[in-house]
Amino acid sequence: MLAAALLSLALLDSVHACSTSPPSAVGIVCRITKPAFLVLNQETAKVIQTAFQRASYPDIKGEKAVVLLGHIKYGLHNIQISHLTIASSQVELAEAKSIDISIQNVSVIFKGTLNYGYMSAWGLSINQSVGFEIDSAIDLQINTQLICDSGRVRTDALDCHLSFHKLLLNLHGEHEPGWIKRLFTNFISFTLQLVLKGQVCKEISVISNGMADFVQSRAASILSDGDIGVDISLTGLPIITATYLESHHKGCFIYKNVSEDLILPAFSPSLLGDSRMLYFWFSEQVLDSLAKAAFQDGRLTLNLTGDKFKLFSSFPLSQAQVTVHCLTRPRISCQNKGVVVSSSVMVKFLFPHPDGRHSVAHSFEEDIITTIQASYSQKKLFLSLLDFQITPKTASNESESSSKAVRSFLKLMITSVGIPEVMSRLQVALTILMNSKGLHFFDIINPEIIPQDGSLLLQMDFGFPEHLLVDFLQSLN
């Protein structure tokens, strides 16, 4: 279940600092539940196999006084492994303590060279070198704690135990008598177990923290684009219960390395369940912070051309050009009915004059309030417009735009073309952005995006994100 402990960090997002803020005041909450750990457990064998293969097994040397034979010196050299298999593994979440991983019956063969020599009491000197194989069956118990170190989440897998319930030494030599095999089995078995335990557990700890760094860096990349990033510093240590692992984050967006402190709301654990594999809870302050960052980066603009206005046959719009941009930063709030976006926009359009020699420019300002519901399926984001309100404020070229026909046209253009076009382009742009970060590689099952008063909840099941593990294992080479 080591894979579950490590990959859960990817789903918990990146952590840049471990804050001392009150743990109940949060912007983003991530909860990964026991069913998710069971899915992640499927690939445990790959991680454990990598740990055994990457472990550096030092030479084992010793010396023993034996009656009649005198002092025997021996050394096991060039120790390597092969034929590793794992029978089964389980995971348990120890309340407020650790992720306990139990791996049963790891069957592995160690190969190498045994050198030994002795001087007998009657002066006979013998020095030999033979190949050996050690057929072993091992159980592992790894209790992984999540700690905060130098501003990042790290894993402490030092509570690691190896139990050998089989350890058979086979020597490959034509003339080796049975007593040699029995002798060295007794000599080296205890030392060998200590060495293997130390090296394998050490490598498991190294891989654990290597993957923690890998997935935190990957998550930081997923949650950033250009000059926009996210401050998802922990507001406290991760919480472990018998049914889920949960982390709390600040969640404010960063623009050009500058962020502002948000007044974060209180979070209650009862807001999330434990029947779905993965939950993300976003306060409306986080979404509002995103809108501010997007506005500062000049991303809230839209250009339309004449082919979008073919339905308005009463106006010569085949050459029309329209630009829409936000005058001030939009405001986002969450309600049970949907996500409400309030914005003040400036619309400028240029269309041909009927005489064909001149063009007429109009610009006007509107306050627009839209209520949106989002959904995700077939690896695409969909936005549905539930409600909207438009309040005209000012207009240029008053002598013409104040006419009833032009006013009617402007309102129809906004409701029939402007808002739907903004929604359509936004959902496409967000889908492209998410896919550019690799979201489409995940097998997301039955996702739900649920607006609540003051927050937005995402809950879903998922298939094993094998590409993430493959990328990490390849990075070790």
Q: Are 218 and 468 in contact (CB under 8 A)?
A: yes
3-state SS, residue 419: helix
In the prediction, which pLDDT does 14 show?
38
Strand partners, 65: 71
pLDDT of residue 265: 84
Q: Which distant-in-sequence residues (6+ apart) come within 8 Å of 126 by Cβ?
A: 117, 118, 120
What is the token pair recorded at 68? 């009649």
3-state class of 455 per DSSP? Answer: strand
Burial level of 263, CB count in 10 A (0-12/13-18/19+)?
A: exposed
Query: pLDDT truncated to tens, each residue of the chain (477 aa)?
Result: 334 333 443 344 333 445 554 556 788 898 989 888 887 777 777 788 888 888 888 888 878 777 666 777 888 899 888 888 888 888 888 887 788 888 888 898 989 998 888 766 666 667 888 888 888 899 988 888 877 665 566 777 768 888 888 888 888 765 555 666 777 776 677 777 888 888 888 888 888 777 777 776 776 677 788 888 888 777 877 888 989 988 888 888 888 988 877 788 888 888 899 999 999 999 999 899 888 888 898 888 877 766 666 655 555 555 667 788 889 999 999 999 999 999 998 887 776 666 666 566 777 888 989 999 999 998 899 999 999 888 877 766 655 545 566 666 666 777 777 778 778 888 888 888 888 877 777 788 999 999 999 999 999 998 877 777 777 777 776
pLDDT at site 318: 56
Q: Is the pTM of this model over 0.85?
A: no
Helices (H) and strands (E) in the chain, counts: 9, 20
Q: How is 273-337 classified by DSSP, letter by letter?
A: -SSSSEEEEEEHHHHHHHHHHHHHTT--EEEEEGGGGTT-TTS--TT-EEEEEESS--EEEEETT
Cα 90 from Cα 400, distance rounded (Å): 75
Domains and CATH numbers, the chain: 37-219 (3.15.10.10), 227-467 (3.15.20.10)
3-class secondary-structure state, position 270 = helix
Q: What is the pLDDT of residue 366?
A: 85
Whether the Cβ atoms of residue 82 and residue 52 lie closer than 8 Å to each other: no
Extract long-range pairs of 130-133: CB within 8 Å, 24+ residues apart.
130/171, 130/172, 130/173, 130/176, 131/171, 131/172, 131/173, 132/76, 132/169, 132/170, 132/171, 132/172, 133/109, 133/169, 133/170, 133/172
Strand ranges (E), 173-202: none
Taking residue 323's Cβ as centre, other Cβ atoms within 10 Å add up to: 14
The Cβ of residue 299 has, within 10 Å, a number of other Cβ atoms equal to 13
Q: Which residue is associated with the tokens 């010569």?
A: 316
Contact call for residues 432 and 319 (beta carbons, < 8 A): no
Please provide the size of the chain in residues.
477
**Separation CA 360–CA 378 (nearest Å):** 44
